[in-house]
């Protein structure tokens, strides 16, 4: 146990950055000034987003009063809280009475605290009685989560602490650009030879090459073939860990029968990565004793994302990495609470503690904590993309409550999303800023942000962290928990506390015995400075407290037989292929100074000054052929929509590929282009590849 943590100093209150899942330690003072705080993930450092996060607290665009649109054609106008909540609950009650509980839907977020995620899920199932709840983590972690559950029996992004990476000799980053998305994480990889799988030569790739590593540059949508080719090379080049496969896994023979058909030279023909590079990288992994394979959204955001992640897991298992000290497989969680957010019941198929909503025992346990009959709990609802697509359609929801998400910018096929939101009877958005989605709402509820509230977050390594209040929210602003509690009260539902500690204590009970067991974690233990990774069950009477589980799988995997599953997966083409009309493959991603839909970072002048507008990276030849030159504005056209972006000629890019950042809204939204084709298991949309053409602006 570590000594009692210092919770406040002259620098302010000890809390964590509002943005990504690295959850860098921050000091925030009463005026909203931010300083880096020593913490294992960031060691006192921050990226530019984190350093400037304090500007959000005192921003002139903060929403400080509920807004209400009296009719769909009217403008939003300020209104009191009582009137806003009464209006919302009245309409929800009326819709439920007329059309049944599934006529109202809830959309959550991976940025919400554990307490909010939990209470939102309970609110949907108990206060509204609807099955229709999902969240934007579906766009983020769902493929990796499903693959992890399938292979290992449990899904914790990194099943080891981030600091284990410090000693790595070789790290394969499959679809990760952490030098831009999570800069302080690069500080843990300084000693490793990096192999970066990315269609673009990103800053992470540059670092890999500078350090003697390698760039594997596949055609977008062919990552799975690359992993199959590497598994083939692992076998033929003699790197297979046969003892490990025999002792700790099942299923390798079936997986090999698929990989046998993908000798590196054949895989190369599909993915474009030189066969010799596959062999080289497998040789590095095979010869090192401390090695990791990590995936991120580049591998996961596909209509076959689960299988793609599985292919990387299979490679890791073939080499004997998972569960071995100093080695492993992991996925790099994206959103601030992307881990905790996928555990506590805002996902359509889940109940708290990472329980399945279709498991009778899980339903009984959670219903018991909630004081309702198990039969009263709804079953699984629609996944995020399907939920959005059903809005305002026959049989679909007629009202949507959105917490912490900007779906007009972040969901695929933005034009369709706009149509669906417009078809609703009621759209309610709780947000900090007037985001694109908030401005489309009938009711906008202004809520507190990170340094104005208490709660917990679970970072990318499954460690539960305390978020602490450094300053009071502006007058007129309520916390999300207060909003949920207020709506529940209006709806006549009991059991919705607004106090985060009370919510967390209930979450602990609800998670007890589940895969993500938080029952042994308390605010007191966290405030005392303990580093607690789940599972951390409550001790039996008289037993010592559980120390948490920094490393999973050291003895066994979470399947009943203790073995990992090597699941045979085969390559499938991207859901949409280029043709004469749309000859290029578009992929999307991030830039360093923006986060997600940009609702926050586009409002920070220092960040907006660096990246003020969308751009499209394109090979100079491809630009020339489209009649475009560097710096000109282009129209990027897919079968679903058109986005405008400034041309950035990049000679290192594949000529068949263009890249757009997804942080911008309006006509510059990259998701106007993206394909809502879904993974059959995770229901992840295919953000990472769709067919487009480039046109000059008329």
Partner 1 sequence: MVGARFVEEVRRRDPHGARVRLTVLGAEPRPAYNRVLLSTVLAGGLSARAVELHPAGWAARQRVDLRLGVTATAINRSRRAVHTGSDGIEPYDELVLATGSRAWLPPMDGLDDASVATFRDIADCERIIGLAHPGARFVVLGGGLLGCEAARGLAGRGVRVTLVHPKQHLMERQLDAGAGEVLAATLRRLGVDVRLGVEAQAWEPGYGLRCGDSGVDELVAADALVVAAGVRAETDLAAAAGIAVDRGVLVDDRLATSDARVHAIGDCAQHAGTAAGLVQPGWEQAAVLADLLTGADPVARYGGTPSVTRLKARGVDLATVGDPAALDRPGAEVLRFADPVGGRYATLALQGDRVVSGAMIGLPDAAASMIQFYDTGSPAPADRLGLLLGRALPGAPETADPTRLPASAVVCRCNTVTKGALVAAWRGGATDVAALSRATRAGTGCGSCGDAVQGICTWLAESDPPVLSPVRQEGAA
Binding interface with partner 1 (CB under 8 A): 36, 43-48, 51, 179-180, 183-187, 190, 203, 207, 219, 235-238, 253-254, 256-257, 260-261, 263, 265-266, 268-269, 272-277, 583, 592-593, 610, 619-621, 624-625, 651-652, 655-656
CB of 630 to partner 1, least distance (A): 13
Considering the complex, what minimum distance in angstroms separates the CB of residue 584 from partner 1?
A: 9
Residue closer to partner 1 (CB basis): 167 or 621: 621
Burial 67-80 (b: 16+ CB within 10 A, else e): bbbeeeeeebeebe
Q: Do residues 442 and 392 make contact, with C-beta atoms less than 8 angstroms apart?
A: no
Residues 6+ apart with CB under 8 A from 656: 219, 578, 583, 584, 585, 622
Residue 451: CB minimum distance to partner 1, A? 19
CB of 207 to partner 1, least distance (A): 7
Q: Residue 349 or residue 570: which is nearer to partner 1 going by CB? A: 570
Q: Kind of pairing, strands 564-565 and 633-638? A: unpaired
Whole-Å CA distances, 636 to 211, 383, 519, 647, 664 = 35, 28, 50, 10, 14
Closer residue to partner 1 in complex, CB, 212/238 = 238
Nearer to partner 1, 51 or 664 (CB): 51
Q: Using DSSP bridges, classify how beta strands 657-661 and 455-458 pair: parallel, antiparallel or unpaired.
A: unpaired
CB of 189 to partner 1, least distance (A): 8
Contact 511, 518 (CB under 8 A): yes
* DSSP one-letter string for 396-421: S-SEEEEES--HHHHSSSHHHHHHHH
Residue 93 or 275 with smaller CB distance to partner 1: 275
Nearer of residues 340 and 578 to partner 1, judged by Cβ = 578
CA distances (Å), 564 to each of 257, 313, 362, 390, in order? 18, 10, 23, 37
Laid out side by side, the sheet with 8-9 consists of 8-9, 12-16, 25-28, 34-36
Q: How far is the CB of 428 from partner 1 (least distance, A)?
A: 37
Nearest one of 137, 141, 144 to 329, comparing CA atoms: 144
Q: How far is CA 416 from CA 133, 538, 544, 569, in A?
A: 19, 46, 54, 32
Task: Write down the least CB distance from residue 9 to partner 1, Å.
Answer: 17
Rounded to 10 degrees, what is the CA torsion of 33, 59, 473, 138?
-100
Q: Identify which of residues 92 and 569 has a Cβ nearer to partner 1 in the complex.
A: 569
Least Å from the CB of residue 261 to partner 1:
7
**Shortest Å distance, C-beta 269 to partner 1:** 5
99: exposed, middle or buried (Cβ count in 10 Å: 0-12, 13-18, 19+): middle
Query: Which tokens in the block code for residue 371?
Result: 């004081």
Q: What are the respective helix, strand and coil percentages of the chain, to the nearest 5?
A: 35, 20, 45
Tokens 């009464």 found at = 86
Q: Distance between CA 438 and CA 432 in Å, rounded?
A: 9
Q: Which is nearer to partner 1, 123 or 239 (CB)?
A: 239
Beta carbon nearer to partner 1, 258 or 457: 258
Within 8 A by CB and 6+ apart from 113, the residues are 337, 340, 453, 455, 456, 457, 467, 500
User: Which parts of 456-534 fold into alpha helices (H)?
Assistant: 480-490, 500-511, 523-527
Q: Which is nearer to partner 1, 3 or 238 (CB)?
A: 238
Instruction: Kindly state the smallest distance separating residue 283's Cβ from partner 1, in Å.
Output: 12
Least distance in angstroms from the C-beta of 39 to partner 1? 13
Contact (CB, 8 A) for 93 and 491? yes
For partner 1, the closer CB: 45 or 404:
45
């Amino acid at each position: 146990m570590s000594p009692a943590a210092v919770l406040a100093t002259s620098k302010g209150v000890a809390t964590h950055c509002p943005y990504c899942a690295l959850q860098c330690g921050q000091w925030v003072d009463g005026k909203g000034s931010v300083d880096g705080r020593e913490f294992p993930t960031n060691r006192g450092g921050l990226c530019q987003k984190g350093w400037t996060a304090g500007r959000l607290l005192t921003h002139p665009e903060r929403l400080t009063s509920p807004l209400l649109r009296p009719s769909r054609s009217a403008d939003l106008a300020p209104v009191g809280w009582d009137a806003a909540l009464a209006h919302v609950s009245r309409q929800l009650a009326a819709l439920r009475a007329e059309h049944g509980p599934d006529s109202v839907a809830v959309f959550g977020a991976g940025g919400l605290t554990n307490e909010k995620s939990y209470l939102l899920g309970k609110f949907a199932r108990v206060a509204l009685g609807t099955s229709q709840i999902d969240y934007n983590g579906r766009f983020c972690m769902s493929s990796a989560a499903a693959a992890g559950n399938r292979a290992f029996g449990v899904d914790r992004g990194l099943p080891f602490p981030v600091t284990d990476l410090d000693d790595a000799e070789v790290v394969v980053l499959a679809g990760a650009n952490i030098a831009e998305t999570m800069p302080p994480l690069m500080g843990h990889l300084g000693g490793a030879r990096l192999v970066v799988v990315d269609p673009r030569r990103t800053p992470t790739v540059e670092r890999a090459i500078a350090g003697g590593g390698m760039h594997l540059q596949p055609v977008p949508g062919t990552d799975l073939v690359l992993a199959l080719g590497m598994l083939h090379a692992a076998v033929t080049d003699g790197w297979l860990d046969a003892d490990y496969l025999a002792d700790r896994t099942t299923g390798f023979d079936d997986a090999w029968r698929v990989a046998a058909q993908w000798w590196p030279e054949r895989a190369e023909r599909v993915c474009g990565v030189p066969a010799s590079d596959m062999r080289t990288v497998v040789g590095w992994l095979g010869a090192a004793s401390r090695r990791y394979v990590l995936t991120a959204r580049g591998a996961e955001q596909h209509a076959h994302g689960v299988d793609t992640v599985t292919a990387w897991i299979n490679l890791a298992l073939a080499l004997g990495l998972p569960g071995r000290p100093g080695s492993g497989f992991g996925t790099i969680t994206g959103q601030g609470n992307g881990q905790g957010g996928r555990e506590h019941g805002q996902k359509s198929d889940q109940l708290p503690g990472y329980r399945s909503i279709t498991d009778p025992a899980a339903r009984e346990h959670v219903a018991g904590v909630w004081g309702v009959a198990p039969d009263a709990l709804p079953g699984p609802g629609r996944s995020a993309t399907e939920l959005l697509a059903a809005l305002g359609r026959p049989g679909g929801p007629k009202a949507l409550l959105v917490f912490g998400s900007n779906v007009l910018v972040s969901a695929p096929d933005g034009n369709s999303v706009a149509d669906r939101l417009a078809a609703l009877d009621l759209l309610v958005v709780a947000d900090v800023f007037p985001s694109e989605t908030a401005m489309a709402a009938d009711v906008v509820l202004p809520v507190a942000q990170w340094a104005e509230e208490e709660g917990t977050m679970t970072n990318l390594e499954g460690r539960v962290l305390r978020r602490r209040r450094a300053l009071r929210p502006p007058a007129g602003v309520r916390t999300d928990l207060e909003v949920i509690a207020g709506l529940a009260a209006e709806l006549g539902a009991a059991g919705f506390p607004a106090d985060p500690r009370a919510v967390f204590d209930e979450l602990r009970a609800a998670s007890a015995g589940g895969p993500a067991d938080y029952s042994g974690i308390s605010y007191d233990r966290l405030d005392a400075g303990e580093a607690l990774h789940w599972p951390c069950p409550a001790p039996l009477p008289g037993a010592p407290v559980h120390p948490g589980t920094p490393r999973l799988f050291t003895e066994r995997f979470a399947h009943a037989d203790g073995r990992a599953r090597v699941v045979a997966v085969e390559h499938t083409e991207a859901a949409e292929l280029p043709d004469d009309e749309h000859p290029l493959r578009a992929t999307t991603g991030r830039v360093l100074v923006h986060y997600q839909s940009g609702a926050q970072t586009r409002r920070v002048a220092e960040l907006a000054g660096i990246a003020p507008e969308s751009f499209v990276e394109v090979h100079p030849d491809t630009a020339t052929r489209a009649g475009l030159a560097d710096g000109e504005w282009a129209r990027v056209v897919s079968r679903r929509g058109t986005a405008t972006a400034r041309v950035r000629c990049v000679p290192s890019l594949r000529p068949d590929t263009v890249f757009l950042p997804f942080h911008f809204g309006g006509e510059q939204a990259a998701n106007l282009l993206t394909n809502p084709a879904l993974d059959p298991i995770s229901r992840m949309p295919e953000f990472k590849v769709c067919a487009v053409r480039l046109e000059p602006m008329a």
